[in-house]
Chain A
Amino acid sequence: MKIKKYIKIWLRYTAGTSQIAFESRTGAAIFIIGKILRFVFFLLFIVVIFSKTKTVAGYSLWQMIFFFLTFNLVDTLPQFLLRDVYRFRGQIINGYFDHTLLKPVSPLFKSLFGGSDIFDFFIMIFLIVMLIIGVEHLGGVSSLNIFLYILLIINAFIIALSFHIFVLCLGILTTEVDNAIMLYRDLTQMGRFPVDIYREPLKSIITFVIPIGIMMTIPAKVMLGVFNIQIIIVSFGIGILIFMLSVLLWRYSLTKYSSASS
């Protein structure tokens, strides 16, 4: 029942933010074109590199494209669903968060899912089509690979969600940093290519400390058939652990909220 209620609320929020987003149709069109252009430019870069060399770190062109597509999926899904996080600091500063706390809705739910970005929904559809094309080019992909891939993408979303919760906590505990979410985005940019290509200690840091490897490289490797079951179990373990930590920190942060701006 509660899930049904929250889906209904999310749909209401999304309808509201979508109406605002489409107020300027030209702006909306430019935004979507811009996002697709960014994707196409980087794809062009990969193709150009492979026109000069046959493999990169042992991966073929289509394998590398698949890594890039998986990165885009994991990058875009939180942008679509968790866009309100980008507005959170402003809500703390202008006192709007008091209003959120008074509502009969979980403040965490409102702060995370309160303003989904409809533009990214279109990008998601585009990416899913591209991923299907990518899978066709990889060849030899089994149903088990696809099933594990979907599970690992859900796990990646849970990790991304946790990092977004950390950013919310940072907004409550210190109002000075408004670049935190962009810092997260910049770190995840390293996942455009498989994390194997980076040297130690950076490789270990972006695999386990900031689990970009778990979020982006491991799901793609599962689709390529290059994986072992231990890594998959560790991936889910890290996902659950980070999520639990983020919820604990959120609860602690709420106790420190002083409502100073209102």
Chain B
Amino acid sequence: MASFRAYYLAARNTWDETLTYRLNFAVWRLRVFLSLISTYFLWLVLLPKGENIAGYNQSSMLTYIVGGGIVYSIVLSTRVAAVSDDIVQGNLSNYLLRPVNYIVYYFFKDFGDKGMNLFFSFFEISLIFILLRPPFYIQTNLLFIFGFFLSIILAIVINFYLNMLLSFVGFFSSEAWAPRFIFFIILGFFSGTIFPLDILPSQIYSFLKLLPFLYLIYFPMKIYLGQIHMQEVFSGLLISLIWSVGLYFITNFLWNKGLHLYSAQGR
């Protein structure tokens, strides 16, 4: 088994890789920033000062959108999409020969990626604060703050395993891009990046509570805003934990099954 240093180097290499293609990364961040700013302006119009939509006033909604931008950078940034290419193109063989756990290796690569995205998102959010001065809600209740951070950790785990499972499609089909495409569309909507999911009709919202997507952006931000009872925080964290553990076992099961099918095609 590889030492922690090997995994630390994997995370650091991700930084170096990103910095090699600086302009590409800058354009990527600009894309994220534009998406955030357009959603911000949209809500600024949809929810003028003094008005209220489904329990959200302008301050809480803009906090949700801007804060959600930071959570997005931490939770949803990932390098795991490359795993399906490794499998389909046969590059996985290179990793299987190394004294590293492939899944853990990618977990640490993701950390490097998240660190880089978080670092830059702070500059972007600062820019929003300087230029637009949004009415940002500051949470002071330590329990909510603790729940917020815990929910983010669980969201990172859920997102990692969901992406890993999607990449394992490569073991069974060379067309791994199609499920990923539909996954991103579902994720973009049902994680709550455009709007808080509780403004949806209650039947849809109740159904979404059973799926993992809601726990990636919406749930952490809802805790941050302190708009849910402590009991709901605990039940949400428990569901997140169940999803994390469940996805961990499914991922390991499919990894072992996939390795039996893997033929290093393309090598």
Contacts and interface: CB of A to CB of B under 8 A. Distances in A.
Interface of A: 24, 26-27, 30-31, 33-34, 37-38, 41-42, 44-45, 48-49, 52-53, 56-57, 174, 176-180, 182-183, 186-187, 189-190, 193, 197-199, 202
A33 B27 CA distance: 29
B31 A30 contact: no
A57 B27 contact: no
A37 B185 CA distance: 8
B119 to A, nearest CB: 19
B181 A197 contact: no
B138 interface: no
What are the 9 closest A-B residue pairs judged by CB atoms, nearest first? A27-B178, A30-B178, A179-B27, A34-B182, A27-B175, A41-B189, A197-B45, A24-B175, A186-B31
A48 B35 CA distance: 21
B130 interface: no
**B interface secondary structure, majority:** helix
| Residue of A31, A178, A179, A202 with most chain B CB atoms under a 10 A cut-off | A179
Contacts of A180: 27
B31 A197 contact: no
B201 interface: yes
B175 A52 contact: no
B178 A24 contact: yes
Interface of B: 21, 23-24, 27-28, 30-31, 34-35, 37-38, 41-42, 44-46, 51, 53-54, 175, 177-179, 181-182, 185-186, 188-189, 194-195, 199-201
Contact of A186 (B34, B54, B175, B194): B34
A179 B28 contact: yes
A148 B254 CA distance: 56
Contacts of B188: 38
Contact of A37 (B21, B24, B178, B186): B186
A30 B44 contact: no
Nearest to A206: B38
Contacts of B21: 176
Given A34-B182, A48-B199, A198 B41 contact: yes
A31 B35 contact: no
Contacts of B53: 49, 52-53
Given A30-B179, A183-B31, A199-B41, A38 B199 contact: no
Contacts of B201: 48
Contacts of A197: 41-42, 45
B182 A45 contact: no
Given A34-B182, A48-B199, 4 more contacts: A37-B186, A177-B24, A183-B34, A197-B42
Contacts of A178: 24
Contacts of B186: 37
A227 B168 CA distance: 53
6 contacts: A34-B178, A38-B189, A42-B189, A179-B31, A199-B41, A199-B44
A224 to B, nearest CB: 18
Contacts of A189: 34-35, 38
Contacts of B54: 52
B35 A186 contact: yes
Contacts of A24: 175, 178
Given A52-B54, A53-B53, A183 B175 contact: no
A56 B53 CA distance: 12
Contacts of B200: 44, 48
A26 B42 contact: no
B164 to A, nearest CB: 19
Contacts of A52: 53-54, 199
A176 B21 CA distance: 7
B185 A34 contact: yes
Given A30-B178, A182-B31, A41 B185 contact: yes
A38 B31 contact: no
Contacts of A41: 185, 189
A31 B181 CA distance: 7
A38 B42 CA distance: 18
